[in-house]
Structure 1
Amino acid sequence: MSEQSGAHLPTSAYFDAISPGHYRPTEAAGGAWNSDEIHFSPLGGLIVHAIDLHRAAAEGGVNGKELGRISFDILGFLAATDCEIRVETIRPGRTIELIEATVIIAGRPAVLARAWFIATTDTSGVAGGQPAPLPSPDRSAPWSMVDIWPGGYIASLDFRSVAPPLPGKASAWLRTEKALVAGEPSSPHAMFIALVDTANGIAVRQSPLDWAYPNLDLTIHFHRQPTGNWVGLDTTVTFGPAGHGLTSSVLHDEDGPVGRAEQILTVRPLS
């Protein structure tokens, strides 16, 4: 089962399973903008975990396809309370497969997600075009993000800065020792995606005490499946002149680049 290879089972978690498809966030999932909300990063990983469970149950195991793209639309406030994740296959197929997931919080849809899975074939002879890899985590300096952002999720992470961050530009590694769901192993791509939304917080263009710039979405494309515990983010944040912004990241594991992530922002002053 290649999609579950490398799955691990840490002793603490971001969510507890209540019943099939129903989850309760722990303090470790606490948001950065508001202490009463879930940080989207671990919730995004949980959605992928639920998609993996759905595919395994529907197809009796791995079917030779890998995750190529996942998009999340965040519809509103992610209250730190019980959530339900409903998953369905909306486009089955032998070479491509589209899965849709809806997160229900407080009786309302809170997140819509769609994931494309793509059949694998050997293209190693023509592979190329990737950006340069980041320096390894071992060559990067410890970085305390709790000086910038509050919340249980940020406090749960181990950060390493590749170089001193600049306004709107940063490269960093991060990892966590926590599981997505207590007592359940998760796939490497679910654990990787559980950290990607952090990108919007590492390349601070303006102080979050003075400006709000939450993301409305997260879209991730993979050209290679991620492995290992470290997530590398080479991130740039752009603010436009009319309240819109964009966080763009090249995603890395320790073997090099694996894909890209984009997040659209709503930018507004806090006073």
Structure 2
Amino acid sequence: MSDSTSTSTAPFTRGGYFEAIDDRRYKPTTHAGGAWDPDEQHFSPLGGLVVHAIDRHRAAGPDDGLVLSRISYDILGRLALDECEIEVVTLRPGRTIELLEAVVRIAGRPVVRARAWFLAGLDTAAVAGGPGERLAPPESLPTWSMSDVWPGGYIASLDVRPVAPPLPGRTSAWISTPLDLVAGVPVGPLASYLALVDTANGIAVRQPPTAWMFPNVDLTVHLHRQPRGTWTGLDTTVTFGPAGQGLTSTVLHDVDGPVGQAQQILTVRPLPSGA
């Protein structure tokens, strides 16, 4: 990965990553194009779309004050750049704890299964504590073109601002986008925030993606505070093991400091010679 940054502006465009077809079906736009294969969806905006679907499901019931505290996605198969359908069910209803499941289907086949825990939102400010070091604010940082490393419409849509020059396996950066998650549709702040989290696996690559593959097969996010603002902060470390597995670990930030953590397990493999 290059350690250079640029003061040029990201290629801001209008529109969204998805267009709504009906209450459960969505069509990805070219802006959702993947980094490993432009004909596939990048998982990051799809992860946000799942939260949007969960928000819609919960909005049909009473406001119980629960907040999303953990969501774990399993990526079951190829994410074709094609119409998808999201079904959400409540697995464990409750007044203070609730578990929901969302399944994404493309061409009738499940491609993502996510489970989300909602916990009671209470005033615990008197006992709040933990590591709280903030990242340098994004407004003070130059823009870095990730398209120099990765192809795809999703990467091209981003405004990425590293806190320091990106290093192999270690980068802290702010991510934002001018695009709607769903074109012309109001989306909750958490769905918009989480729609950028899967970018973590691409900001601190240990080896060039032209020589090695290291896609993640899952993403798990734990939150101790609900993020706010339009920037997703990623303080990311990437580890490759000796037997084909890797791990991308990220402390998640908003402009006020850490909000939680994300983990992604990687399958690491060399690209075929001449690929």
Same fold (TM over 0.5): yes
State the partner residue of 2:8: none
State the partner residue of 1:78: 79
For the 8 Å contact 1:139–1:162, the answer to whether it is kept is no
Give 1:51 shift.
0.3
The one-letter code sitting in structure 2 at the alignment partner of 1:18 is I
Partner secondary structure for residue 202 of structure 2: helix
The one-letter code sitting in structure 2 at the alignment partner of 1:240 is G
Give 1:11 shift.
5.3
The one-letter code sitting in structure 2 at the alignment partner of 1:55 is R
Partner secondary structure for residue 177 of structure 1: coil
1:43 corresponds to 2:37: no
Partner secondary structure for residue 43 of structure 1: helix
Give 1:183 shift.
2.1
State the partner residue of 2:213: 212
State the partner residue of 2:5: none
Quote the Cα distance in structure 2 between the aligned partners of 1:142 and 1:263: 25
For the 8 Å contact 1:13–1:182, the answer to whether it is kept is yes
Quote the Cα distance in structure 2 between the aligned partners of 1:202 and 1:17: 29
Partner secondary structure for residue 176 of structure 2: strand
Quote the Cα distance in structure 1 between the aligned partners of 2:152 and 2:20: 21
Q: Deviations over 1:56-87 (max 9, x none)?
A: 01x14x32011100000000110000000000
1:230 corresponds to 2:231: yes
The one-letter code sitting in structure 1 at the alignment partner of 2:165 is P
State the partner residue of 1:111: 112
Partner secondary structure for residue 141 of structure 1: coil
Partner secondary structure for residue 28 of structure 1: helix
Q: Deviations over 1:225-247 (max 9, x none)?
A: 00000011000000000000000
Give 1:35 shift.
1.2
Moved over 4 A (4+): none
The one-letter code sitting in structure 2 at the alignment partner of 1:188 is P
The one-letter code sitting in structure 2 at the alignment partner of 1:205 is R
State the partner residue of 1:53: 56
State the partner residue of 2:178: 177
Partner secondary structure for residue 209 of structure 1: coil
Partner secondary structure for residue 237 of structure 2: strand
State the partner residue of 2:197: 196
- Give the CA RMSD over aligned residues: 1.0
Unpaired runs of 5+ in structure 2?
Answer: 1-12
Give the percent of matched residue pairs that are identical in Structure 1 and Structure 2.
66
Quote the Cα distance in structure 2 between the aligned partners of 1:178 and 1:45: 13
The one-letter code sitting in structure 1 at the alignment partner of 2:30 is E
State the partner residue of 1:5: none
Paired residue for 1:15, among 3, 15, 18? 18
The one-letter code sitting in structure 2 at the alignment partner of 1:145 is M
1:260 corresponds to 2:267: no
Give 1:100 shift.
0.2
The one-letter code sitting in structure 2 at the alignment partner of 1:166 is L
Partner secondary structure for residue 195 of structure 2: helix
State the partner residue of 2:158: 157
Partner secondary structure for residue 154 of structure 1: helix
